[in-house]
Structure 1
Amino acid sequence: MPTSAVPAALSYADADARLGGALSAVFEGAGASPGYDEVLFFDGDLTLDGDFLDAINELRRGDDEHDVELIVVTGDLTVRGPIALYEDRPGLYVGGRTEAETLEGGDAEICIHDGVFTHLVYGWYNHGSLQTGIVDTPWVIDYDHHMEVGARGARWVNNYEDDDDADFAVGDGIIEAFVPEVVDAEDGSLRVEDFLDRLRAGLPVLRPGARSETESASDHGPGPHASLPKP
């Protein structure tokens, strides 16, 4: 397994101090304490094969310490697979550039800077948070999540509710635009796992000729939301 930086187990306070308070600036905004104890701290660049969490667990195999609550990479993080953090622990902080197949967040707190994600960035439900710098990815999907994602070249999907500022939103917009293999016809939402499987297989996810509301509006000049930035 390729890896560069050697992990160290630090307390949250020690890790935050080594980063000049960068962790507390991000993770303590909503309360007095983020509730993190042990931090797995990689000082430098880190490259991993396969699923991010599986690779981290492989690195720590035989480690008798408690479960890691926050993973910190001070340099660049390169993952030859997905980053998918749906449980509330561990959280993730990356000080450098992040590259992976996907960035998927659920209950965990995630804060990265710039990055590239081959298939998508996905925020699921409303317990965690997902913050990025400027990222390059074709799709951003939001399901009622706290997302601060800078991905202006991406197509945005609101998979939770109607949204005039999204390219595609739950309901008729998704049903009419996407191939039936990736749509839950009952509630008009994307089945994200099936959607991602098709992206990985190189299969189309949009129906032939499907256009977002933004693309359709551009055919007739600037629309009412043309000057509004993406979330």
Structure 2
Amino acid sequence: MPKSAVPASLSYADADARLGGALSAVFEGAGASPGYDEVLFFDGDLTLDGNFLVAINELRGGDAEGDVELIVVTGDLTVNGPIAVYDDRPGLYVGGRTEAETLEGGEAEIYIHDGAFTHLVHGYYNHGSLVTGIVETPWVIDFDHHMEIRAPGARWVDNYGDDDDADFSVGDSIVEAFVPEVVDAEDRCLDVDAFLDRLRAGLPVLRPGSRSAVSTPSRV
């Protein structure tokens, strides 16, 4: 690992106190019953190679027992790979700037400040939350998720079908705009894995001549 604060194992109450109440101010279940027990606490900047959760597990010796419920980085978080947190634990809080290949969230609570993500931000499923400051990314994909994302210039894809303000939405909008390799023909939505593989390969995802609408500067 190129650069890392030394991790500490803290209770949620202790971690929250060290951050002046910042955790309980943003996470659901805040206060006396936050729903988190063990916190892996990095006081400072953290840089990791590869998949975020895999790198965290390796940092802890590869022992899956006693998995942490919340990861806290007080400084900047830089991941030379994806941040993909789809299970309900661990949650993630970053006090500084976050940079990674992707930011992907499912049932977990994720709260970061400003950041940059090479390929996309993706929120999946109607549990958990993904909240950011101002982030740089070309694509934001929402599948019925609680997302408070400020991504000026990003293209927004509603992969569920309930956002009238999205640039592209389930149905004809997606089918007509994107190359067939990244479209789920049955559900008429993006196949996010295929979409991401194509982005990583530097291949186009939009059909020639498709409109390249951009979203409004702020989506909350």
Deviation per residue, 1:128-185 (Å, 9 max, x gap):
1000000000000000000000002100000000532100000000000000000011
Which residue of 1 is the match for residue 47 of structure 2? 47
1:2 offset after TM fit, Å? 1.8
Distance 1:171 1:152, change over 3 A: same
1:230 offset after TM fit, Å? 3.2
Which residue of 1 is the match for residue 198 of structure 2? 198
Q: Distance in 1 between matches of 2:199 and 2:142?
A: 17
Per the alignment, in what secondary structure is the counterpart of residue 71 of structure 1?
Answer: strand
Q: Confirm whether residue 230 of structure 1 aligns to residue 219 of structure 2.
A: yes
Q: Confirm whether residue 121 of structure 1 aligns to residue 121 of structure 2.
A: yes
Q: Confirm whether residue 209 of structure 1 aligns to residue 209 of structure 2.
A: yes
Which residue of 2 is the match for residue 171 of structure 1? 171
Once superposed, what is the RMSD of the aligned Cα atoms? Answer: 1.9
Q: Distance in 1 between matches of 2:21 and 2:127?
A: 24
Structure number with the bigger relative contact order (C-alpha 8 A, sep ≥ 6) is: 2
Matches within 5 A, 1:83-162: 83-162=83-162
Which residue of 1 is the match for residue 81 of structure 2? 81
Write the letter of the residue equivalent to 2:125.
Y
1:32 offset after TM fit, Å? 5.9
Write the letter of the residue equivalent to 1:132.
T
Kindly report structure 1 stretches of 4+ aligned residues shifted beyond 6 Å: none
1:228 offset after TM fit, Å? 8.9
Larger-gyration structure (1/2): 1
TM-score scaled to structure 1, two decimals?
0.90
How many aligned residue pairs are there?
220
Give me the identity figure in percent.
82
TM-score scaled to structure 2, two decimals?
0.94
